[in-house]
Chains A and B, each alone.
Chain A
Amino acid sequence: MLVIKDLTVAFDSRRGRLMAVRGVNLNLERGEILGVVGESGAGKSTVGAAVMGLLEQGGSVQGGQIIFEGENLLEKNTDQMRAIRGRRIGMIFQDPMTALNPVKTVADQLTETIGHALSLGAKAARVEALNWLRKMDIPKADERMDHYPHEFSGGQRQRIVIALALCGKPDLVIADEPTTALDVSVQAQILKLIKKLVEETHIGIIIITHNMGVIAELTDRVAIMRHGELVEEGPTQAILQHPQTPYAQMLIASVPQSDRRLMRLQVPDNNGVIQAPINYTPPDKAKAEEDALFKLHKLNVIYHPGGSLFAKGKAVHALQDASFSITKGKALGLVGESGSGKSTCARGIIGLIPISSGVVEFDGHKLSAMSERQRRPVRADMQMIFQDPYSSLNKRMKILDIIAEPIRFYGIATNRSEVEDRAVSLLKRVGLPADALNRYPHQFSGGQRQRIAVARTLASKPKMIICDEPTSALDVSVQAHVLNLLKDLQDEYNLTLLFISHDLPVVRQMCDDIAVLKDGKIVEIGDAAAIFDSPKHPYTQHLIHLMPHMKGRR
């Protein structure tokens, strides 16, 4: 149905020409789901945009053909392309928050598209719209279709986006990261829905994603891209189990597995050779120190939002009676879906938000009973790594100043050369060259920035680090490097970690114990292996069941 031949796309900017896609060949049959996977900058989204004729400004197709049902789309003018978009090719966007028009009701948006695509009258289009919402399992669709997008949950909104893409009855749908912004349980629903639709309507779907789990669950065939080139293409299971090219092998090896724990994730060494995996061997129970470095007893956080002069907002109980402890040198994973209170917990512990009640005990200090002034010296021992390496580094400060700040602040070193020496050794420890010191954050990639953030947290020689989704903004291979680095550092300095993530396989790889949060309450807590192998609480079972698996790889 769709044949992409030798597609080449270039972007012109003031820094010169960038070849985003180079000579890519792809095929898609009816009723087939093709996955396009790759890390950021691989050009996977550009391929989708080129098929839609919606390249961003500055982008242009330099060569090749896109043949859709026998017609070359590249020869169409804008009017002809507009007729094809929506009616014959649909698109599902990544972010359900911005893909819907917030000032129009769902029914309006659907009927407009349906009326336009199928040339139906207003009444018929409304009936059709209702049918689609029912098909998407939107509860009480007939009542709710006249609601505005913000009145639906994230998962429902993404289903509406899918309905919007499909209601014109297209033959081909391009889905760009359709589940990336969603929680696992919602993701599982959406993936199931897409699969069902393909079986029923026999359309062709191209899924663009960076998530290998989604690829494994959903696609028939997969194409792996890197630097704008097609690296490997073929049936999904064959590629996942026996990748041929070194890049594909590396990409697949660096995905953390939910069913086993490795000493370190597999990443290529300097020569590009991937080492065989070494399975994790739990340390001798007898040797383990049993004293808890960190204790949390019945922590409660209640938000009072919208508090203004005239109105008091309704209080939100974001965290209820959270209690756990972490043994020195161990890692506890805090998992849960968005809104479960994971970040609230971390921020309450470190004192970024006020806690309502409860006791936070760290290294013999009762943090929750201390004033900010009393607490300051203790802060050096407990540091935090944030999720987004793009916003966690001040873009107006040089790397030297960023790393030097805690060194000076805690009085670890005061004179210039000592501070600089310490900063250089920290950078070296996280695998960055010394000349990084005089550069600014924007000159580094996401992974490098996260290393800088790690160097900053290490600057004060902490005993415990709170990691709030430290790798969820990173590509898988970069994630593997950063996770390995964290493990190395944990071993080297006997660090205690509180590791917060929504990504269960990552938590499995990093943590000794796991606490599962749901709606602000810890529903299950215990040994990581035990929880993954035989979860007790229904919610935990549900989460583990829904998580996308890379089947057959053991």
Chain B
Amino acid sequence: MKRLLEHDLIQDFFNAPAAVVSFLVLFAVLFVALFAPWLVDQNPFDPLQLDLMDSQLPPMWLADGDSRYVLGTDEQGRGVLAALFYGARLSLLVGLASVALSLVLGIGVGLVAGYFRGWADQLITSLADLQLTIPGLLVALMLAGVIKTQLPVEIAETVMIYVVILAIGFSDWPKYARVTRASVMIESQEDYVLAARAMGASPWLILWRHILPNIMRSNIVIATVGLGVAIMLEATLSFLGAGVPTSTPSLGTLIRSGANFLFSGEWWVVVFPGCMLILTVFSINILGDWLRDALNPKLD
């Protein structure tokens, strides 16, 4: 523990107030997302727990406010606070899963392209270029359309979240693949890789044991920023109605349904999820920026 505290990265962290604040915010978001069922009484995803009698209540500190619903309710009698916690859960899940997907995919093909070069490299870089010409948003919208029209409603609703994860994950892999490919090309000229080759190690062993740990730094930095982008992308998809279904709302879905009430005076339905989204993504980006500088050996 003492050694951990003395580590450069940790030292650096405590010297960057912006990073500490963003970390605390993110930690709070993660906390409410993880422990949502224990923090609020109502499960906003369970229709049986919603009471239409309680619909469109303002936050508790306003006139007509109800102390059971701290931040008010939406048109279905769903507590905004509860929806926020459960929504953060979904947003983070989609964000993390899709980043993990593109990270694994991107690093995998990047390693192969950068180490073996040749036709594999040409194929992979061409695919990456092709992928970059198709906006992720478009792919997701298309997939969502197909699934919604072709599958029964119940199945469509349960698979939508995976579709969103796949759509975002697939649209982002070229970024990691390119960075990985470039770093692998540099690392494979290093003497430690030559030493492993001189030992007779197989390419897979070299990639896994030697090169992979040395290229993770830059990927982790991009992944942090990528997480913010992925959460935003999910929110956008859900806002456009191509994301997770309204019965299990994410932050984007909440903003979508709340936006309808913006002009009729029920501002709380859209403002709180909006703030939550901004705060989360902003913190992730600040943290990503800090991480990029802290892990940059040239700025030591």
Contacts and interface: CB of A to CB of B under 8 A. Distances in A.
Interface of A: 14, 309, 347, 350-352, 372, 375-376, 379, 383-384, 386-388, 391-397, 405-406, 409, 453, 456, 460
A352 to B, nearest CB: 6
Contact of B195 (A309, A372, A386, A395): A386
Contact of A386 (B122, B194, B199): B194
Please give me the 5 A-B residue pairs with the lowest Cβ-Cβ distance, nearest first.
Answer: A392-B191, A396-B213, A386-B191, A379-B200, A376-B200
A526 B298 CA distance: 47
B191 A387 contact: yes
Contacts of A391: 190-192
Given A384-B195, A392-B195, A394-B192, A409 B200 contact: yes
A396 B214 contact: yes
Contacts of B148: none
A49 B34 CA distance: 56
B11 interface: yes
A350 B199 CA distance: 9
A395 B214 contact: yes
Contact of B192 (A14, A350, A392, A460): A392
A456 B199 CA distance: 10
Nearest to B211: A394
Contacts of A393: 192
Contact of B198 (A379, A395, A396): A379
Interface string B90-121: 00000000000000000000000000000000
B201 interface: yes
Contacts of B190: 391-392
Contacts of B210: 394, 397
Contacts of B197: 351-352
B185 to A, nearest CB: 15
B199 A406 contact: yes
Contacts of B213: 394, 396-397
Nearest to A376: B200
Given A393-B192, A395-B192, A405-B199, 7 more contacts: A14-B11, A379-B198, A384-B195, A386-B194, A394-B213, A395-B214, A406-B199
B122 A309 contact: yes
B299 to A, nearest CB: 10
Contacts of B8: 14
A372 B201 CA distance: 10
Interface residues of B, number: 18
A396 B190 CA distance: 13
A406 B11 CA distance: 36
Contacts of A387: 191
B149 to A, nearest CB: 42
B192 A375 contact: no
A375 B198 CA distance: 11
A393 B210 CA distance: 10
Contacts of B200: 372, 375-376, 379, 409
A456 B195 contact: yes
A350 B191 CA distance: 14
A396 B187 CA distance: 12
B191 A409 contact: no
- Name the residue among B194, B197, B198, B201 with the largest chain A CB count within 10 angstroms: B198
A14 B197 CA distance: 38
A509 to B, nearest CB: 23
A383 to B, nearest CB: 7
A304 B210 CA distance: 27
B214 A350 contact: no
Contact of A352 (B192, B194, B209): B194
Nearest to A394: B192
Nearest to B212: A396
A394 B215 CA distance: 12
Q: Chain B's interface: helix, strand, loop or mixed, by majority?
A: helix
A388 B198 contact: no
Contacts of B191: 386-388, 391-392
Interface in B171-217: 190-192, 194-201, 209-210, 213-214
Nearest to A13: B300
Nearest to B196: A405
A375 B192 CA distance: 20
Nearest to B201: A409
Contacts of B192: 391-395
A383 B11 CA distance: 41
B199 A409 contact: yes
B215 to A, nearest CB: 10
Contacts of B209: 397, 405
Nearest to A393: B192
- Name the residue among A350, A376, A396, A453 with the largest chain B CB count within 10 angstroms: A396
A379 B202 CA distance: 13
A18 B8 CA distance: 18
Contacts of A376: 200
A453 B199 CA distance: 13
17 contacts: A309-B122, A350-B198, A352-B194, A379-B198, A379-B199, A383-B198, A384-B195, A388-B191, A391-B191, A392-B192, A392-B194, A392-B195, A394-B213, A395-B214, A396-B213, A409-B199, A456-B195
Contacts of A396: 213-214
A265 to B, nearest CB: 25
Contacts of B122: 309
A539 B205 CA distance: 44
Interface in B22-71: none
Contacts of B199: 379, 383, 405-406, 409, 460
Nearest to B215: A396
A392 B199 CA distance: 13
A392 B197 CA distance: 12
Nearest to B213: A396
Nearest to A378: B200
Contacts of B196: 405
A387 B213 CA distance: 23
A508 B296 CA distance: 43
Nearest to A383: B198
Contacts of B11: 14
Contacts of A309: 122
A14 B294 CA distance: 13
Contacts of B201: 409
A379 B195 CA distance: 12
Nearest to B189: A391
Nearest to A409: B199
A198 B1 CA distance: 60
A234 B190 CA distance: 42
B164 to A, nearest CB: 35
A435 B197 CA distance: 28
B81 to A, nearest CB: 43
B123 to A, nearest CB: 11
Contacts of A379: 198-200
Contacts of A453: 195
Nearest to B119: A309
A187 to B, nearest CB: 25
Contacts of B194: 347, 352, 384, 386, 392
Contacts of B198: 350-352, 379, 383-384
- Name the residue among A376, A394, A395 with the largest chain B CB count within 10 angstroms: A394
A347 B195 CA distance: 11
Nearest to A372: B200
A384 B196 CA distance: 10
B180 to A, nearest CB: 15
B259 to A, nearest CB: 48
Nearest to A386: B191
B45 to A, nearest CB: 43
A383 B197 CA distance: 11
